[in-house]
């Protein structure tokens, strides 16, 4: 068994099995643009739903919002994004390819054309996506697509406190799309110009920030284990002074060991009172919190755990991808199979119903089973090609269980259930299927 997956293997599987497609492919594509296919959107939704349940609805100290993507540009001025949200950029003077200066050796040859000593001086490149509101395109109509989710939660903080009546410590969570004009996006869905985030701002008394920072860092590690990521696949990296975002006093990146190297997956930042204080100064609105226990009025400090949805999908697929040699019917011979050993809760399909042949008498048994189980779980129905090829197809998309309806089912009213990971099979009565799956899909 091997998990030695390459990005080329994963990208090919993702396309062929309907997880992720190249964007705008019929027109030659668009660089680093990706669409989620039928299985990819189910995997992503399962991850998002599990995150929301774990971090929001199952907790008494968390509420959610859904803020607008386009906000008053004064929000981004107050937060520092129009001046500080930058990456260092250099350009090859020969081929005009642009690179992030902190990710290449500027004394080496250009990776695109091979020219030497042809890079421009580094300059700051603002990552905010600029747009215009209304019919004119001038300074008076400039707006921005949000580069992060946080600011919507900060500007709504007073209203959330007022309407939810939550007491510090508590959090505001949000899920949504963000946009960054990245200089060098790439590596499949790892870095794109439009991406999806799950994030919350956790508001604390300034004296308790260290306790809550460690608590949420532990919760993020626990979430990764839920996704199927093993502890030896990620690394905690303390970001040093001078390398942190302009708003952060402490940042820890959770980095994953991708096939292309150790890179950031998630991050947790201690944003102090930077945002609420700046918005209070710039807007003139009182952003302080009144503690009803002691009538103390103060600006809360903030712990911010950030979870990229697209990177969550990527590491879930990378961690689940497995190549195995399995025995065949011929004694002493083996065959290879690719299997996505996805956590059951995240698999796009939980069950596949596979009639042994297309004959009508089997379909009359198999289709009602599929309809009944579909009321509780996501179910695939597949009757094309040999049963062996159908098993392999379900292995590759991560379906935990296959139910085979054969000709014996017509007489014994039983079916065969095959386990994805062990490939073991068990015979179960049809009227006991719901009870069996209740037990095995809840674990």
- The whole-angstrom separation of Cα 99 and Cα 400 is 43
**Cβ pair 428, 414 in contact under 8 A:** yes
**Of 84, 216, 68, residue with least CA distance to 156:** 68
| Per-residue pLDDT in tens (0 to 9) along the chain, 443 residues | 567 899 999 999 999 999 999 999 999 988 888 999 999 999 999 999 999 999 999 999 999 999 999 999 888 888 887 777 667 778 888 887 777 777 778 788 888 788 887 788 877 766 777 888 887 777 778 888 898 899 999 999 999 999 999 999 999 999 999 998 876 667 999 999 899 999 999 999 999 999 999 999 999 999 999 999 999 999 999 999 988 888 899 999 999 999 999 999 999 999 999 999 999 999 999 999 999 989 999 999 999 999 999 999 999 999 999 999 877 666 667 788 999 999 999 999 999 999 999 889 999 999 999 999 999 999 999 999 999 999 999 999 999 999 999 999 999 999 999 999 999 999 999 999 999 999 999 86
**Of 92, 173, 175, 79, residue with least CA distance to 128:** 79
Q: Give the residues across from 417 on adjacent strands.
A: 403, 426
DSSP for residue 120: P
**Cβ pair 5, 259 in contact under 8 A:** yes
Residue with tokens 């009025």: 297
- What pTM was computed for the model? 0.89
**Cβ pair 318, 14 in contact under 8 A:** no
- The whole-angstrom separation of Cα 311 and Cα 192 is 10
Structural domains in the chain plus CATH codes: 7-73+128-317 (3.30.930.10), 86-126 (no CATH), 349-440 (3.40.50.800)
- The whole-angstrom separation of Cα 73 and Cα 69 is 11
- Tell me whether residue 7 is exposed, middle or buried, using C-beta atoms within 10 angstroms of its C-beta: 0 to 12, 13 to 18, 19 or more: middle
Neighbouring residues of 101: CB distance < 8 A, sequence distance ≥ 6 = 88, 89, 90, 122
Q: Percent of the chain scored above 70 by pLDDT?
A: 97
**Of 163, 252, 241, 265, residue with least CA distance to 216:** 252
**Of 201, 270, 265, 198, residue with least CA distance to 237:** 265
Q: Tell me the CB-side half-sphere exposure of residue 375, using CA atoms within 13 A.
A: 7
Q: Tell me the CB-side half-sphere exposure of residue 87, using CA atoms within 13 A.
A: 18
- The whole-angstrom separation of Cα 250 and Cα 102 is 21
User: CB neighbours (10 Å) of residue 411?
Assistant: 7
Q: Give the residues across from 13 on adjacent strands.
A: none
| Per-residue buried b or exposed e for 413-438, using 16+ beta carbons within 10 Å of the residue's own CB | ebbbbbebeeeeeeeeebeebeeebe
- The whole-angstrom separation of Cα 322 and Cα 4 is 8
**Cβ pair 19, 37 in contact under 8 A:** yes
What pLDDT shows up at residue 265?
Answer: 97
**Of 199, 197, 202, residue with least CA distance to 160:** 202
Residue with tokens 């195995």: 324
Three-state DSSP class for residue 264: strand
User: CA quadruple 243, 248, 251, 255: dihedral positive or negative?
Assistant: negative
Q: Give the residues across from 199 on adjacent strands.
A: 174, 306
Q: For the chain, how big is the Rg over CA atoms in Å?
A: 26
Three-state DSSP class for residue 218: helix
């Amino acid at each position: 068994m091997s998990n030695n997956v390459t990005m080329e293997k994963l990208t090919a599987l993702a396309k062929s099995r309907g997880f992720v497609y190249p964007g705008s492919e019929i027109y030659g594509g668009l660089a680093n643009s990706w669409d989620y296919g039928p299985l990819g959107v189910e995997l992503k939704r399962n991850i998002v739903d599990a995150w929301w349940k774990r971090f929001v609805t199952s907790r008494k100290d968390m509420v959610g919002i859904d803020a607008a993507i386009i906000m008053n540009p004064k929000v981004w001025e107050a937060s520092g994004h129009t001046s500080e949200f930058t990456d260092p950029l250099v350009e090859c003077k020969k081929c005009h390819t642009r690179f992030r200066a902190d990710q290449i050796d500027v004394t080496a040859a250009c990776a695109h054309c091979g020219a030497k000593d042809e890079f421009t001086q580094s300059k700051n490149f603002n990552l905010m996506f600029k747009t215009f509101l209304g019919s004119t395109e001038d300074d008076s109509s400039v707006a921005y697509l949000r580069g992060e989710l946080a600011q919507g939660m900060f500007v709504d903080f007073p209203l959330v406190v007022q309407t939810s009546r939550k007491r510090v410590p508590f959090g505001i969570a949000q899920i949504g799309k963000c946009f960054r004009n990245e200089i060098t996006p790439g590596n499949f869905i790892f870095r794109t110009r439009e991406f999806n985030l799950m994030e919350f701002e956790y508001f604390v008394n300034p004296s308790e920030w260290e306790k809550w920072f460690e608590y949420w860092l532990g919760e993020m590690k626990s979430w990764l284990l839920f996704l199927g990521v093993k502890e030896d696949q990620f690394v905690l990296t303390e970001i040093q002074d001078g390398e942190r975002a302009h708003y952060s006093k402490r940042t820890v990146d959770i980095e994953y060991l991708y096939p292309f190297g150790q890179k950031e997956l998630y991050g947790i930042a201690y944003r102090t009172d930077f945002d609420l204080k700046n918005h209070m100064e710039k807007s003139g609105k009182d952003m302080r919190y009144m503690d009803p226990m002691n009538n103390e009025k103060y600006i809360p400090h903030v712990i911010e755990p950030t979870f990229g949805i697209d990177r969550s999908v990527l590491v879930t697929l990378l961690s689940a991808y497995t190549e195995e040699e399995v025995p065949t019917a011929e004694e002493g011979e083996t065959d290879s199979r690719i299997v996505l050993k996805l956590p059951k809760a995240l698999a796009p399909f939980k069950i596949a119903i596979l009639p042994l042949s297309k004959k009508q008498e089997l379909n009359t048994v198999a289709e009602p089973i599929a309809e009944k189980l579909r009321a509780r779980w996501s179910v695939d129905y597949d009757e094309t090609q040999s049963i062996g090829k159908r098993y392999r197809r379900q292995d590759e998309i991560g379906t935990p269980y296959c139910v085979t309806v054969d000709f014996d089912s017509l007489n014994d009213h039983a079916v065969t259930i095959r386990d994805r990971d062990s490939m073991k099979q068990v015979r179960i009565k049809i009227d006991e299927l719901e009870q069996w799956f209740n037990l095995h899909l809840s674990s």
